[in-house]
Amino acid sequence: MPHSQPIDIINARIPGYQSLQMLLVNSQGVIEQILPMETVFKRVPPLDLQILDVAGDWISLGGVDLQINGALGLAFPDLAPENSHLMAKISQFLWNEGVDAYLPTLVTTSVENIQRSLAVIADLLSTPQTTAQVLGVHLEGPFLNYHKRGAHPAEYLLPLTIDEVKRVLGDYAHVVKVITLAPELDPTGEVIPYLRSLGITVSLGHSQATEAQAKQAFELGATMVTHAFNAMPPLHHREPGLLGAAMTHPGVMCGFIADGQHITPTMLKILLRACPGLFLVSDALSPLGLPGGIYPWDSREIEVKNGTARLPDGTLSGTTVPLLVGVQNLVKWGICDIETAIALATDAPRKAIDLPGISPKQAANCLRWHHNQTTKELQVMRILH
């Protein structure tokens, strides 16, 4: 619903707000106020005001995907000047899927590939973006534990030292927003503070860190965990490990995947009850938006079936399930209430990288969520853009 007039969205449920609210959106498409519905009669409305009554449906900002490896056939580590035009198509596709912003994620590959991709994204960040916004890069590797590398190619893993970090980042440290690393690879404890000094959020993952090693990493400045439960030791009653440390450390936020394959619904229930800081990611691979089948993936192939991607040896390598389908899955499976599920893909990832959630002064790129009482499905659509 493009608009050039002020609009009041009334009778809205908004994650984080009590009772029904109304959003006052000005003619520039910016939220001016969020007010309880009982104040509606105290307001003198503009003469050209439009009213949108959402009748108790949920309203949120669009999703933010902090871990997405590609889409429409392009893997982000394969970015190059000759295919850079595909980024606009991917951003439009994600926008149409309800995603406001994302971090293109570069999985472990050669330093040359990383540098080439970072250069393309640096150019993109210097130009205006009109659909889903690229916020920067999530560098997932190459500083990962060999034994928890998952589908990451072993030949490109690197030791975790400041010198190697500088070599990988090159002139593009300002492009990298998040980096996933295995903290046990750095016994000096120097790398995490160095990355934080560059303004890079440090996420722990693909790791065999003990509880003590993870706690030390959090004390040094790591604030995130990459795809909880996956590529890390399981929770154990005598060795809580990385995930146990994250669940009990104030301020740490864990990403997780809700495709039903990476974590079973039962474990998702446990995770949501035990961990106060969570956000959804898609971990989607390059076939996102394409049908199932066999696709190239670096020098290998992956097979996509029912939204799950695996290597020929059966190793789980990611999904092609869009971010907001994860929200719908959480509701469909009875994992959490609608408010929580929506917030996990919209406000929570923003919080993880220090962006504001739905609030005044934000662009009103709003989604409307309707819970169909007959089918029990959670339906979503954009209403303002």
Q: Which residues are catalytic?
A: 283
Is residue 290 within 8 Å of residue 305, measured between CB atoms? Answer: no
Buried b (16+ CB within 10 A) or exposed e, 227-250: bbbbbbbebeeeebbbbbbbbebe
Q: The sheet that has 300-305: what strands, in order across it?
A: 293-297, 300-305, 308-310, 316-319
Amino acid code (one letter) for 17: Y
Comparing CA positions, the residue from 312, 377, 298, 288 lying closest to residue 341 is: 377
Facing residues of 181 across strands? 204
CA gap 180, 167 in Å, rounded: 16
CA gap 240, 233 in Å, rounded: 9
Give me the DSSP letters along 76-100.
GGG--GGGTTHHHHHHHHHHHTTEE
Is residue 199 within 8 Å of residue 159, measured between CB atoms? Answer: no
> Residue 206 is encoded by which pair of tokens?
């693909």
Torsion, CA 229, CA 234, CA 240, CA 244, rounded to 10: 10
Amino acid code (one letter) for 310: R
